[in-house]
Chains A and B, each alone.
Chain A
């Protein structure tokens, strides 16, 4: 695999084919668990870990497993990875494990992971597969953390609350009260807020894409200068 491919994979995972904003996969944890930065980060890291390990394992067995049984086999691999991260989180970040609750085992059914296993890892070598899993996971985590940041900020007026659940004692004093006397804005704390903010993020991403597309188009249009026909049917405003 050449260097350019890795660049492409990075770009696809983080932006162009972002699992949360473009593929719209894994919406269930995205909407339910993005109420605060710590939940988002925990969920994102768990998902990234599962993506990474399952992509590696799927890529390893890709020539052994026959096409007919590939999906059940992949699901078994993913379930094993999920069980591992679940037990790990139970051991090291027990309170976060309690908060994430059923959404941890549900990573098994997260379509991002099965999608990457089937679309990428089962067709590529180990290194690119691992890298793809990592990038997709980071793309998903980034969206979740941004979503969690804004929902926590506008919903409760505090950010980075309870970060010590995930990061240990160093994060004890990270809690940042942005607004004084902020009443809890329940609409944003509850899942409907996640829908609205995800919508805004998708809109913003599309806006940015359109902007760059227009710039590219404008550059292309400027190149051939021999066409001198005057436009007569313009928009009157």
Chain B
């Protein structure tokens, strides 16, 4: 019989973590569906592969650390980490890239820091950033979205054979993402960009608009189930919109892109609702969460427009994870009955 050391409060909702994690998984469905529709079945293959390897890594680490294996495996946290990483990875990256990512996420970023509840950084984002820095070639090859010039939907079999190195997809051509194009551009106005490049959609990236809408839907569902409070995501999106409005400059050639473009391109919605709201690595108090989210929003814009990498959500979230204890220190709520 396994006896766990549990501190007060002892009145608890049984397996609450597992329920929360299941809700998060459920909420990723619309976004994943949009990703699959526009970029082919690679995302699904990645998710299956990442979840499998994550469970194996989790099992190894729990055994090694002498923790009750079944209890922790059933809380779905490893699966959520795996799914978030799989969504963030390019759909057609080779199997070993995702494997290295999962190993870093579960073994180093999660268990070496003490396991679930102790990790100061979001494991999925640590893995993503390590991969992005280490393997820039594999990590920046995004497939062209369905509807762009020459893109076709890639089926399960082709995606599987490609990701596991049996038969590379020859005709699947990759394309610079819209964020990349926007960053490199210094001569065309925004309207010209949208006409010139087929990967631009109505106001954001083609396909990316729907992916972001999907994650927005999922996020609102989570908000309605009170999985997290509104403070982090809303302040992050508001700050991003505000800063990009300042840098919009009426869409001229030196424009950083419209607020809508930034809200509905790249990983904005995924980051706002699924990554930044991680209860372990974000700030705790409500005021703190507003500051935490707003700083992420500002950083996302700064890194997207002035940094070296096309997207910035992972970097911003990690940077603010560093700052979370500091924010908490200065935003402690007033204790009832005391003046500040």
CB distance from A110 to the nearest CB of B (A): 28
B189 within 8 A of A: no
Which of B2, B108, B136, B138 touches A237 (beta carbons < 8 Å)?
B2
Q: B residues within 8 A CB of A190? A: 133
Which residue, B3, B108, B130, B138, has most C-beta atoms of chain A within 10 A? B130
Q: B residues within 8 A CB of A188? A: 134
Q: A residues within 8 A CB of B137? A: 183
Q: Which residue of A lies closest to B135 (CB)?
A: A183
B11 within 8 A of A: no
A236 within 8 A of B: yes
B1 within 8 A of A: yes
Are B3's CB and A236's CB within 8 A?
yes
Complex Cα gap A185–B137 (Å): 11
Are A186's CB and B138's CB within 8 A?
no
Q: Which residue of A lies closest to B136 (CB)?
A: A186
Instruction: Tell whether A196 pairs with B133 under 8 Å between CB atoms, given A236-B1, A237-B2.
Output: no
Chain A interface size range: 10 to 19
Are A187's CB and B134's CB within 8 A?
yes
The majority secondary structure among interface residues of chain A is loop
In chain B, positions 131-149 with a C-beta closer than 8 Å to chain A are 133-138
In chain A, positions 180-237 with a C-beta closer than 8 Å to chain B are 183-188, 190, 196, 236-237
Q: A residues within 8 A CB of B134? A: 184-188
Which of A183, A186, A236, A237 touches B133 (beta carbons < 8 Å)?
A186
Complex Cα gap A89–B192 (Å): 58
Q: A residues within 8 A CB of B108? A: 196
Q: B residues within 8 A CB of A184? A: 134
Are B130's CB and A187's CB within 8 A?
yes
State the total of A-B contacts with C-beta under 8 angstroms.
Answer: 19
CB distance from B225 to the nearest CB of A (A): 36
Q: A residues within 8 A CB of B138? A: 183
In chain B, positions 92-147 with a C-beta closer than 8 Å to chain A are 108, 130, 133-138
Are B2's CB and A185's CB within 8 A?
no
Q: A residues within 8 A CB of B130? A: 187
Are A185's CB and B1's CB within 8 A?
no
Q: Which residue of B lies closest to A190 (CB)?
A: B133
Q: A residues within 8 A CB of B1? A: 236
CB distance from A48 to the nearest CB of B (A): 32
Q: B residues within 8 A CB of A236? A: 1, 3
CB distance from A211 to the nearest CB of B (A): 15
CB distance from B13 to the nearest CB of A (A): 26
Q: B residues within 8 A CB of A185? A: 134-135
CB distance from A128 to the nearest CB of B (A): 40
Which residue, B130, B134, B137, B138, has most C-beta atoms of chain A within 10 A? B134
Are A186's CB and B135's CB within 8 A?
yes
Q: B residues within 8 A CB of A196? A: 108
Q: B residues within 8 A CB of A186? A: 133-136
Complex Cα gap A236–B137 (Å): 51
CB distance from A67 to the nearest CB of B (A): 42
CB distance from A235 to the nearest CB of B (A): 9
In chain A, positions 137-185 with a C-beta closer than 8 Å to chain B are 183-185
Write the residues of chain A forming the contact surface with B, with a CB cutoff of 8 angstroms. 183-188, 190, 196, 236-237
Write the residues of chain B forming the contact surface with A, with a CB cutoff of 8 angstroms. 1-3, 108, 130, 133-138
The 8 closest A-B pairs by CB, nearest first: A187-B134, A186-B134, A185-B134, A187-B130, A187-B133, A186-B133, A236-B3, A183-B135
Q: List 8 A-B contacts (CB under 8 A).
A: A183-B137, A185-B135, A186-B134, A186-B136, A187-B130, A187-B133, A188-B134, A196-B108
Q: A236-B1, A237-B2 are in contact. List 6 more A-B contacts (CB 8 A).
A: A183-B135, A184-B134, A186-B134, A187-B130, A190-B133, A196-B108
